[in-house]
Structure 1
Amino acid sequence: MIQKIRYRFIYMSTIALFIVLVTLIGGIVGVSYYRAKQQIDNVLIILLQNNGKINSQINTQNVKKRFGPTFNQESLYQYRYFSVSFNSKGKQVSLDNSHIVSVPSETISSLGYQVFRSKRQSGSVRSVVSSYAYKTSKKNGKTTIVFLDQSVIMESTNNIVKVGMILGITSLILFTLMLIAVSRRAIRPIVLADKRQREFVTNAGHELKTPLSIIKANNELQEMITGQTEWTVSNDQQVNRLTQLINNLISLARMEEQQQLDLSVIEVSGILERATKSFKSVVVQQNKQFKINISPDLKINAEENSFLELCNILLDNANKYCDDGGTVSVALVPDKKLKKATLMVGNTYVKGKNSNYSKFFERFYRDDKSRNSAKKGFGIGLSMAVSLIDAFNGKIGVRYQKETIFFNVTFKLVR
């Protein structure tokens, strides 16, 4: 349980940092990308306003209006661009490639015809050399298309993306490694508190056994002197009940103290058959039906005695809370596609439709409808079952169907 808390702490902290990094880096990249696109759009507009050229005759006020007062006009000359014009009949009438050297005239004409036929006002096209953003303008029956090499402008944004990803991944890995290193120290108070709690239960249980033994002996002596009475029988029942509770608490505490069982490949079909044989006579004597369906030769990683204890807990719980004249069912079936085996233990429970099944695995929890003297138990068995299932790396769930409650336990199959 403590290790699960530790792993969950590491997982949730890593996820939280991941979300923060994605938000932060994504925001920076988004702003950079938006500004780059805005810059490309502004340059294309200026080119169209100046007949596809950037020269000394450019309106300086218009440039500063678009790029801001701090923009240096000299930086306009860093861009690589070209333009092509068509008349109303779609014939090329001019081509300007004086501000780019890497794109031949044939390619410029081809790109120009491609954009002209598409009739789009703006967008981007790609050639073998680079990617170009474009805008079109129609004036006096003449269509002018200006192209801007956007690779230079987008380079800084692409670099931000690469650097951001490298820093983000590196930060996430370093943070996770540091978290793994310090998480043991962070949860140490919880570990100590849990250890003291288990030690207290174990020690208190052993201390309580002595006075209970004395009370039981005194009660037996009283019966030898005066014979059995209503009071001595009640005393004996309550002493036995309290002794059983103490034994269960000690077993649960010891189970949790044992950090890891020695797991090995065991054949669970045979173990479950042994458990059902021991319960069959008890179930039948109470006028209940007992249905068994166990697939043979199923193997999982577990510990034999502990798995037998798990079967006994689930069978005892099903028999204890089964309605009079009802049915206790046990099934062990494989799912070869998922490579899992499912142990299903169910019992008839007509009044269980509105029960809070999420609390069934809590210690000392018993459904209010079953709180009567006929139902012996303390609500510890299922909690012990959960601890065993966790040790076997399995999963347990509960469902209610057709007036029957089922506890489903899944394990990974082993060949």
Structure 2
Amino acid sequence: MSILGVLVVVFAGMIALIYGTSYLEVSRYYRQATEQYTTVYWEHGLPGDDGNDGNRGTATPDGTNAAQSAPSPSSAPDPSSVPDGGTPPDGSARTVRTFYAAVFDDNGDLIDAAGNANVGVTDDMLSGTGTGIVRSQGLAWSDAVSITGSPRSVAYGVSGQWVYRVSQFDGRTLVVLMDNTIMDESMGTLMRNTLVFGAVAIVLLSGIAIGIARHIVQPLEAAHDEQRRFIADAGHELKTPISAIGANAELLRRDLSSGGASADATNAHARQWLDNITFENQRMAGLVSRLLELDHVESRGADVTSVDFSRLVSGCLLSHEPVAFEHGFMIHDNIASNVVVDGDADRLGDLASILISNAIEHGDATINADDDADPLESMPTVDVRLHVERGRAMLRVSNPGTLTEHEAAHVFDRFYRADPARSSSGTHYGLGLSIARAIVHAYGGTIVCDCRKTSTGADTANDVNTVTFTVTLPLSKHRPSR
């Protein structure tokens, strides 16, 4: 997931947390406020009453009659008169100015109401709304007759613009309504502001994050580009003098060869040095060629066409069989037919050749050697397999040998040689497997190396260590052109 995706997920999580927390807090406030208003009614009557209604058989939550415990009408505070931020009769800091109520008898007739005709909350509206709420909750007016001792809250919820609480006591049903229009609008405003300012913050933070990431990555990209330029420049710079050295050495050899009988021991030594010059020249030329090839694969890639990988691998095996025999190996192959991949035939041929040559050059030909057995049967084998697995072409090249975990992890590094004895001999430059990896990655594949014991029979003492290179490439969607 990208950095921007992570930021979007975090932002969405914060929005959900803020809105959820706010909603729970508002719901808690609604519940406490309606409960408070209900308690005020049972203790003091509805706002605007002269006190007589409150003494009309009204009981307090502790079970005593309001006529006995409630203060006189002149001393009982009117809940509707409590200012914003003031303290209602119970000492809490809840305002009741947006509350309305309707009281019904056990027949469902309205006997008292606290509304506000100036804003359209009339007694008829309260009666209809209260009746609808009680019926929607499946409550019965007559149930209030059996509730004595203390008021009982029987329903709480939201209906349209109202948050309501229904309580019953002593034959009466009280429906308290709280107008939540302003609160809903406030929540909507909160959500819109959070989304707008959050989106702006996401954009700003994304820009800052991208700028910081580019600043951090820029030195790494510069170093990588510099390294690739060095390889290309070094290859091109060395190519010309190497060609000149080769030409001069060949001319000198011809001059010495034309000396006839006068050529003596000095000439023989000169020829020996010239042979060394020619050898080193060829070796340097091979190194430069490998460097240029690696740069070409990594920086420019190759043309992509449908290639019959089976034919390429089989052709490489035919050309490598004599070399393998000279090194004491037999090649065992199992090549599936019609394995077609997308790539460049020359590059994929180089890939197969590099892996097979590496197995022959670095395999241990002394494993399983048996002087008493048939020499051909006792020769170790280089195993090459090509097949289709899980919709991908899979090439495995195995040879007897041993690699440590550290060597297997670095075997694809440039100029890395697991065998130091080969570091300055022949044409081993430590670039072949680097080129193979670059070719595989250029065509969307993978290449791995592992070393494990391979069973040779029931006797585990004869099990041998095997180094295996495994290449996977996407199969082509088209047949190769012939």
TM range (shorter): 0.5 to 0.7
Cα deviation 1:193-232 (Å, max 9, x = unaligned) = 4664344123222123135315743478779732698766
1:175, 1:280 → 2: CA distance?
Answer: 59
Tell whether the 8 Å contact from 2:383 to 2:398 is kept in structure 1 after alignment: yes
2:227, 2:130 → 1: CA distance?
Answer: 77
Tell whether the 8 Å contact from 2:167 to 2:174 is kept in structure 1 after alignment: yes
1:283, 1:266 → 2: CA distance?
Answer: 26
2:471, 2:318 → 1: CA distance?
Answer: 20
Counterpart position of 1:328? 382
1:125, 1:212 → 2: CA distance?
Answer: 97
2:396, 2:103 → 1: CA distance?
Answer: 76
**Structure 1 275/161 Cα, relative in aligned 2: closer, same or farther at 3 Å?**
farther
The residue correspondences of 1:10-409 to structure 2 (distance < 5 A) are 15-24=2-11, 26-51=13-38, 56=80, 60-61=85-86, 77=98, 105=131, 108=134, 111=137, 154-156=187-189, 159=192, 171=203, 193=226, 196-214=229-247, 216-217=249-250, 218=252, 225-226=267-268, 236-257=278-299, 259-324=300-365, 325=367, 326-335=380-389, 338-350=390-402, 352-368=403-419, 371=422, 376-402=427-453, 403-409=465-471
Aligned-pair CA distance for 1:263: 0.9
1:194, 1:270 → 2: CA distance?
Answer: 36
2:135, 2:82 → 1: CA distance?
Answer: 26
Tell whether the 8 Å contact from 1:301 to 1:392 is kept in structure 2 after alignment: yes
Tell whether the 8 Å contact from 1:320 to 1:375 is kept in structure 2 after alignment: no
Tell whether the 8 Å contact from 2:393 to 2:472 is kept in structure 1 after alignment: yes
1:389, 1:105 → 2: CA distance?
Answer: 78
SS at structure 2 position matched to 1:409: strand
2:92, 2:407 → 1: CA distance?
Answer: 65
Tell whether the 8 Å contact from 1:318 to 1:328 is kept in structure 2 after alignment: yes
2:174, 2:426 → 1: CA distance?
Answer: 91
Aligned-pair CA distance for 1:331: 1.0
Aligned-pair CA distance for 1:388: 1.5
| TM-score of the superposed pair, with normalisation by structure 1 | 0.67
Aligned-pair CA distance for 1:246: 2.2
SS at structure 2 position matched to 1:361: coil
Amino acid across the alignment from 1:56: S
Tell whether the 8 Å contact from 1:216 to 1:239 is kept in structure 2 after alignment: no
**Structure 1 145/248 Cα, relative in aligned 2: closer, same or farther at 3 Å?**
farther
Once the two structures are overlaid, the 10-residue window that deviates more, 268-277 or 356-365, is 356-365
SS at structure 2 position matched to 1:379: coil
Q: Which has the higher contact order (CA 8 A, sep 6+)?
A: 1
2:10, 2:293 → 1: CA distance?
Answer: 49
Counterpart position of 1:411? 473
Once the two structures are overlaid, the 10-residue window that deviates more, 338-347 or 189-198, is 189-198
Tell whether the 8 Å contact from 1:36 to 1:157 is kept in structure 2 after alignment: no
Aligned-pair CA distance for 1:288: 1.7
1:205, 1:84 → 2: CA distance?
Answer: 103
Unpaired segments ≥5 residues, structure 2: 42-46, 48-78, 105-110, 116-120, 140-152, 258-262, 368-379, 454-464, 478-482
**Structure 1 319/107 Cα, relative in aligned 2: closer, same or farther at 3 Å?**
farther
Aligned-pair CA distance for 1:290: 1.8
Counterpart position of 1:91? none
| TM-score of the superposed pair, with normalisation by structure 2 | 0.59
Q: What is the RMSD computed on CA atoms of the aligned residues?
A: 5.1
1:84, 1:298 → 2: CA distance?
Answer: 86
2:241, 2:157 → 1: CA distance?
Answer: 85
**Structure 1 57/302 Cα, relative in aligned 2: closer, same or farther at 3 Å?**
same
SS at structure 2 position matched to 1:315: helix
- The number of residue pairs the alignment matches comes to 368
Tell whether the 8 Å contact from 1:293 to 1:330 is kept in structure 2 after alignment: yes
**Structure 1 104/19 Cα, relative in aligned 2: closer, same or farther at 3 Å?**
same
Amino acid across the alignment from 2:6: I
Aligned-pair CA distance for 1:412: 1.2
Amino acid across the alignment from 1:200: D
**Structure 1 220/104 Cα, relative in aligned 2: closer, same or farther at 3 Å?**
farther
**Structure 1 104/62 Cα, relative in aligned 2: closer, same or farther at 3 Å?**
closer
**Structure 1 165/398 Cα, relative in aligned 2: closer, same or farther at 3 Å?**
farther
1:367, 1:347 → 2: CA distance?
Answer: 15
The structure with more radius of gyration: 2
Aligned-pair CA distance for 1:84: 11
**Structure 1 276/164 Cα, relative in aligned 2: closer, same or farther at 3 Å?**
farther
